[in-house]
Amino acid sequence: MKRTALAVVVITALSISPVFAQTDSIKASAIILDADGAEIGKASLIQAPTGVLMHLKVSSLSPGKHGLHLHGHGECDAKTGYKSAKGHVGKSDGGHGLLNPDGPEPGDLPNIFVGADGTGEMEAFSTMVSLTGGDNNLLDEDGSTFIIHENADDHVSQPIGGAGGRVACGVIEKD
């Protein structure tokens, strides 16, 4: 009898959990473009109660680690080397890096790892950004982008962790 009562309690707790009740959450996505403007992948984002869950999958990149950041302008112009995406979301002087004692900036994310076949995939969660409002709203009036850099981000060096040039970009848009 105790097992049955425990099972009922667990099932009841799961059925009212906010994680399972997020069927109407705000969602967004981004088509990832390479340096020439060709599609190489996709990102998906979902608003959670305390932040944003992001999933990114790409192909046709050089193997190894690549810096990945959220940039504060929703434009991917390959002709500018994706500088049209401007700086990081929530940029603060000297604050870049997940390991920085003065950081991180809201646009800082873990590196994406790309295998020998050119395919990379990552999932991250950030409590520093939102799809629904606030200072670091990725869907605000000027939009936001994912930027993939040519090198790994060391998560400390200023201003972009030594990540180098921008090799891919994706504008984040509400689904």
pLDDT tens-digit readout, 30-66: 999 999 999 999 999 999 999 999 999 999 999 999 9
What was the pLDDT predicted at 92?
87
The per-residue pLDDT for range 129-149, each reduced to its tens digit, is 999 999 999 999 999 999 999
How many angstroms separate the CA atoms of 57 and 40, rounded? Answer: 9
pLDDT bracket for residue 15 (50, 70, 90): very low
Average pLDDT, the chain: 88
The position carrying tokens 């105790």 is 2
Instruction: Determine the length of the chain.
Output: 175
What was the pLDDT predicted at 5?
35
What was the pLDDT predicted at 25?
87
The per-residue pLDDT for range 114-127, each reduced to its tens digit, is 999 999 999 999 99
Domains of the chain are 24-174 (2.60.40.200)
How many angstroms separate the CA atoms of 106 and 33, rounded? Answer: 22
Task: Name the nearest CA neighbour of 104 among 112, 113, 95, 91.
Answer: 95
How many angstroms separate the CA atoms of 40 and 117, rounded? Answer: 13
Average pLDDT over residues 14-23: 41
Its pTM surpasses 0.95: no
What was the pLDDT predicted at 21?
43
C-alpha torsion sign, points 111, 112, 114, 118: negative
